[in-house]
Amino acid sequence: MNRLKKFLTDTADSLLRVALRYPVEAALCIYACIFGAIQIEWSFDYHMLLAADGAATEMRQLPHGVFTMLPLTMLATLIVHTLVGRASRAWRTLYLLVPLLLTIASWLLGKEWFGTSRFFITSAVLAPLGLLMARRTLPNGPFVRQTLGYIRAAAVGGIFALTAMLSAMAIYHSVIYIFNIPASWEVRNLVDSYIVLFSWALLWPLTALARLDGYLSDEPQGTKTTDTLLNWILAPALLVYAAILYLYCLQILFTWSLPKGGVAYLVFGFTMALFTVKALQELVVQRRYDWFFDRISIFALPPLVLFWAGVMQRVGDYGLTDWRVYLIVCGAIMTAAVALFAARRTGRYYYIAATAFVLFFLTAYIPRFSATAFSLRSQTARAERLAGQTGLLDESGRLDLSRIDERDTAQLKRYRELYASLDYLDDHDTLLLADRFGIARSRELLGRFHSDRIRDYIQWGYELDTAEAAALTSSYSNSELRAPLRIDGYRYCYAPVSFSYNNGSSRYTTSGDTLRLYLPDGRELFRRSFDELFTERCDQLLYWPDDEPLYTADNLLFYRTDSLLISFSWAEVSRGKHRYVALNVDKFYTK
């Protein structure tokens, strides 16, 4: 009893200290739990408990608003709390109003903001960087220790929350199972939702806040484990990776070729790891690689050049997108870091954090420099260039999709690249797409390709060689017909079947690539090979097999003579071999 009493007393003291030290943050956690509980109860149907089977297979949905805004609101409140901690009473009022101001800002930005890259950048980049900068610590040693303090507090809080969540779920479900307590899946998921809510919206942040001050004032000391990890695993791995990148640079120089576009992502990861391990050298007792990390700007220069070459290659091939703009921003931050650490006086992690904050803020929220604005201009220019190369622009400069020649395999790659740019514009600004190119949606371009394989290549980029493309088939169905079927002059209509054991019906066969029609009495009415059928259809329509206007459903789903009319429900045509490949007969008419 004494141990339990001491545990409860210590827990109460810790919660009281958190509430006094971080009153708004603690109130936010309580508000998040109340708001989340209201959302859970609002969407829960208690009438399900009266169902005969007492079960529902649909999983409970967690309150999305809580887990969307709570981390950002908590970080923003901590930033203001850190900035005005020793300020006047008027400034401390701002600390009390942060949640309200953020709520108003989220209403002004609208629901769409939560699904954009700007929300992700704000929550995952700007807010953490702002928290680190709020302490205004310039020396590298204290800056690294404070960063580790925040990480340790968040990690310990997360471990506590995860442990509590799993323990509570295990106990609850075990009790239900062992004692055969009747509980539907709906009720179980309801209880699980509450467990997850209170674990991550209450226990995690409160535990992290309770540990935060101690971790920020603590000076972590290196151990044999950290020395082994940094000196014998991470640092050698970075040296090996640097050697690989240097060899790749030499290969490019000797072969006089351009680097692969994806190399930019590899170099970015390497450089971030390089500066992270350099920062962690503050924890190393026996530092063995000072010769390398003290000259980090020199060793990072060749990979940095490789990064920019890869970025230019990537942008030149595919144009800018939001995330490629952010990749360029990361490259600018890397370049600034290499330049800053070229001198001891300017080599400060605080300056790198400030540079990253300014650049990401500009590209996320300043319209003139936003990632979306750069991307739209880039993809518009790319689409104009590709449309001009494929000859799809008319005299007014808009797209004329009727000029697409599906048989011109040399243009398929450009068609795919054009679709990628149009699809990006479709996703981000349909008004720009309609105003500049005269089409409402990007899928209008896909509709000009009859071959499923070519259409999949254009849309998804599936592999397709030109020889295969030339032999590909196009399919047509009667749902594509634009004009009604004219049956004037024909007296009898037959709806044939394709199986032979029903002797009371008309039927057809396509074995041996030959179409045969049979009357109900079994007499053969018509016989043509697929090659003959296609050739005769071309003669009927006065088209050559290479004429593009021939290839429509209205032309190829019918065969007409003076005494016979055949309508097909579906047809597959080889445009390379100029023949039918497969046919389904819908009806045929005789006089």
Q: Note the pLDDT tens digit of each residue in 111-168.
A: 777 778 888 899 999 999 999 999 889 999 899 999 999 999 999 999 999 999 999 9
pLDDT value, residue 301: 93
How large is the average pLDDT for residues 177-203? 88
Helix (H) or strand (E) holding 54: none
**pLDDT level of residue 52 (50, 70, 90 thresholds):** very low
At 62 the pLDDT is 47
CA 546 – CA 550 distance, rounded (Å): 8
What is the per-residue pLDDT for 46? 47
Of 527 and 183, the structure prediction assigns the larger pLDDT to: 527
User: Residue 268: which of 240, 300, 299 has the closest Cα?
Assistant: 300
Q: What tokens appear for 131 in the block? A: 């928290």
Q: What is the pLDDT of residues 499-553, one digit of tens each?
A: 665 567 888 988 888 999 989 888 899 999 999 999 999 989 888 888 878 888 8
Cα–Cα distance between 321 and 302 in angstroms, integer? Answer: 26
Higher pLDDT: 479 or 24? It is 24
How many residues make up the chain in this entry?
591
* 277-300 average pLDDT score: 89
SS3 for 73-133 is HHHHHHHHHHHCCCCCHHHHHHHHHHHHHHHHHHHHHCHHHHHCHHHHHHHHHHHHHHHHH
- Residue-wise pLDDT tens digits, 432-445: 999 999 999 998 89
Distances (CA, A) of 202 to 65, 161, 189, 475: 15, 9, 19, 59
Q: Locate the domains of the chain by residue range.
A: 19-53+62-217, 224-369, 373-470, 476-590
Sign of the CA dihedral with 172 first, then 174, 179, and 183 last: positive
Lowest mean pLDDT among 216-220, 314-318, 555-559: 216-220
pLDDT of residue 331: 94
- The predicted-structure confidence for 198-250, as pLDDT tens digits, reads as follows 999 999 999 999 989 888 888 777 788 888 899 899 999 999 999 999 999 99
Enclosing H/E stretch for 283? none
For the chain, the C-alpha Rg in angstroms (whole number) is 34
pLDDT digits (tens, 9 = 90+) for 410-429: 788 899 999 999 999 999 89
What is the pLDDT, as a whole number, of residue 184?
A: 78
Averaged pLDDT score across all residues of the chain: 85
| Helix boundaries (H) for 261-321 | 263-279, 290-293, 296-318
Q: What is the pLDDT of residue 44?
A: 59
| Tens of pLDDT, residues 344-364 | 888 899 999 999 999 999 998
